[in-house]
């Protein structure tokens, strides 16, 4: 199997609230980042998308998004369960996952990091704050951060 490729202009948004989904997409548009935002609305759909199964069986699972922006409280599978599955898969293990949530519960924060979240960001209450959060997330994960090299996926695959 080939190493997973990361698409720098492709983001996966995992969000079950239509209003939050619309606001995140609007923020990306306002920033004019040129990124495509693919949206899934529950944990099961997120896993199908990433692994190219279910209704996404035609999608190449080797074409990973640059990062996943995911709420923690999701239908079907929680954000924690999705994180556990992502981190358990050799091809997705190093995919950056940013938990983007309104939860202020410390146990959620702890569980997300224990399950392998790369970042935990609380959703701003105002649209201007959301735009700034999206700008900073994009800047860090798409410009400043060096993604794991493709070779690391191959080594992980052989060890699995």
Number of domains, the chain: 1
The C-alpha atoms of residue 18 and residue 136 are separated, in whole angstroms, by: 23
The stretch 41-54 carries a mean pLDDT of: 95
Helix (H, G, I), strand (E, B) or coil at 101: strand
Return the axis-axis angle of helices 79-87 and 106-114, rounded to nearest 10°: 20
* CATH code of the domain in which 28 resides: 3.40.50.2300
% helix, strand, coil for the chain, step of 5: 45, 20, 35
The C-alpha atoms of residue 35 and residue 29 are separated, in whole angstroms, by: 9
Contact 93, 64 (CB under 8 A): no
Q: Give the domain extent around 118.
A: 5-159
Residues 77-88 have pLDDT tens digits of 999 999 999 999
Give the pLDDT confidence score for residue 4 in this predicted structure.
53
Tell which residue, 34, 99, 93, has the closest CA to residue 73: 99
Residues 87-122 have pLDDT tens digits of 999 888 899 999 999 999 999 999 999 999 999 999
| pTM for the predicted model, two decimal places | 0.88
């Amino acid at each position: 199997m080939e190493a997973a490729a990361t698409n720098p202009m492709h983001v996966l948004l995992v969000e079950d609230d239509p209003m939050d989904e619309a606001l995140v997409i609007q923020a990306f548009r306002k920033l004019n980042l040129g990124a495509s935002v693919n949206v899934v609305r529950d944990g099961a759909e997120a896993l199908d998308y990433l692994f190219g199964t279910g209704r996404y069986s035609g999608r190449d699972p080797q074409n990973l998004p640059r990062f996943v922006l995911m709420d923690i409280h999701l239908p079907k599978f929680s954000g924690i369960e999705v994180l556990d599955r992502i981190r358990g898969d050799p091809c997705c293990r190093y995919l950056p996952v940013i938990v983007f949530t309104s939860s202020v519960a410390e146990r959620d924060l702890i569980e997300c990091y224990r399950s392998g979240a790369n970042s935990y960001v609380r959703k701003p209450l105002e649209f201007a704050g959301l735009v700034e959060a999206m700008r900073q997330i994009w800047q860090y994960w798409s410009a400043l951060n060096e993604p794991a090299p493709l070779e690391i996926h191959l080594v992980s695959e052989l060890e699995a």
